[in-house]
Amino acid sequence: MFLFANILGIFVFIAIAALFSRDRKNIQWKSVGIVLALEILLAWFFTQFKAGQIAVQAAADGFNWLVSVATQGIAFALPEWLTSNNGGPNFVTSALLPILLVVPLFDILTYIGLLPWLIKWIGKGLAFITGQPKFEAFFSIEMMFLGNTEVLAVSKAQLDMMSARRNFTLAMMSMSCVTSAIIGSYTQMVPGKYVLTAIPLNILGAIIIATILNPTKVTPEEDVIVSVASDNGKKEPFFSFLGDSILGAGKLILIITATVIAFVSLAALINQLFSLTGLHWLTLENIFGVIMFPFAWLLGFNVHEAFQIAQYMGTKLVTNEFVVMGEVSKSIMAGKGLFANEHARIVLTVFLTSFANFGTLGMIIGCFKGLVSKEKNDYISARVPYMLLSGILVSLLSAATAGMFVW
Q: Are residues 380 and 365 in contact, defined by beta-carbon separation less than 8 angstroms?
A: yes
pLDDT of residue 324: 83
Q: What is the pTM of this model?
A: 0.79
Provide the 10 A C-beta neighbour count for residue 37. Answer: 11
Give the list of residues 6+ apart from residue 182 with CB closer than 8 angstroms, or none: 89, 94, 95
Is 230 a residue whose pLDDT tops 50?
A: no
pLDDT of residue 56: 67
Residue 83 backbone class (left: φ over 0; alpha: ψ -120 to 50; beta: rest): alpha
Q: Among candidates 138, 40, 33, 100, which has minimal Cα distance to 243?
A: 100
Q: How far apart are CA 83 and CA 232, in angstroms?
A: 48
Question: b vs e for 141-154, b when ≥16 Cβ sit within 10 Å of the residue's Cβ?
Answer: bbbbbbbbbbbbbb
Mean pLDDT of the 87-94 span: 64
The ranges assigned to domains in the chain are 1-215+251-404
Q: How far apart are CA 244 and CA 269, in angstroms?
A: 38
Q: Compute the CA torsion angle 95, 365, 208, 353 (nearest 10 deg).
A: 30
More confident residue, 226 or 77: 77
Give the list of residues 6+ apart from residue 71 with CB closer than 8 angstroms, or none: 82, 93, 98
Q: How far apart are CA 135 and CA 222, in angstroms?
A: 10
pLDDT in tens, 296-343: 999 999 998 998 899 899 888 887 787 788 778 888 888 888 888 889
Provide the 10 A C-beta neighbour count for residue 12. Answer: 18
pLDDT band at 185 (very low <50, low <70, confident <90, very high): low
pLDDT band at 380 (very low <50, low <70, confident <90, very high): very high
pLDDT in tens, 259-271: 777 777 887 898 8
Q: How far apart are CA 137 and CA 101, in angstroms?
A: 24
Q: Among candidates 58, 136, 138, 70, which has minimal Cα distance to 104?
A: 70
